[in-house]
Amino acid sequence: MAAKPRFSALSDGTKEDWDMIVAEQRKFVAKLPERILAHLSLLGGDYGGFPVDRLQHSLQTAELAAAGGEDDEYVVCALLHDMGDTLGSTNHPDVAAAIIEPFVSPAHHWMVKHHGIFQGYNFFHHIGLDRNMRDGYRDSDHYDLTEVFIAKYDNPAFDSSKPKLDLALFAPMVRRVFAAPKRGIYKRDDVSS
């Protein structure tokens, strides 16, 4: 069994303690892609009233993005855009955006974070909300990117006539995108590598 730091408050830790902690954290962070894939699998069988379950919707969105020639990072964002549904049922875009933020570009992060408002254009008027809520973001550099994401990939990805897709198709992409953070408070080469 590996040695463990012996302190009861973080402020009491020594350099040696933190060297041990960082070594263990590297191992933990390296397994993030597998935890993400496992979490995505929880969306299987959860229809929430939709024609396809949440996992198939996510897979169809990613498949459309891949077929549309988008890069791996974009396709992974398409795959993960609704992964927050299980724990953030009323703010799922924020949950997904928080998970992907260190690993993707600011543009793709913004797209995932705001996709729910943009998707609302297609149905908000049916549930008593303003379908043009997205217009409040017209000044964003990422407005057009997000509008295209919804129109081309997210909105048409509820096709119950499509054969079921397998999450394994996108596992290598998830592993590549989540191999190392691009930004964040822990983005020092000696800490995150």
Q: Can you state the percent helix, strand and coil of the chain, rounding each to 5?
A: 60, 0, 40
* Distance in angstroms (rounded) separating the CA atoms of residues 120 and 122: 5
* Distance in angstroms (rounded) separating the CA atoms of residues 38 and 32: 10
The per-residue DSSP string of 101-128 comes to GGGS-HHHHHHHHHHHHHHGGGTGGGTT
Task: Report whether 50 contacts 154 (CB < 8 A).
Answer: no
Instruction: Note the Cα 154 to chain centre separation in Å.
Output: 14
Residue with tokens 């990117």: 145
pLDDT tens per residue across all 193 residues of the chain: 567 888 889 899 999 999 999 899 989 999 999 999 999 999 999 998 999 999 999 999 999 999 999 999 999 999 999 999 989 989 999 999 999 999 999 999 999 999 999 999 999 999 999 999 999 999 999 999 999 999 999 999 999 999 999 999 999 999 999 998 998 887 665 444 4
Beta-carbon count within 10 A of 37 CB: 17
Which CATH superfamily groups domain 29-192?
A: Hypothetical protein af1432 (1.10.3210.10)
**Beta-carbon contacts of residue 75 (< 8 Å; ≥ 6 apart):** 62, 65, 66, 170, 173
Q: Where are the domains of the chain?
A: 29-192
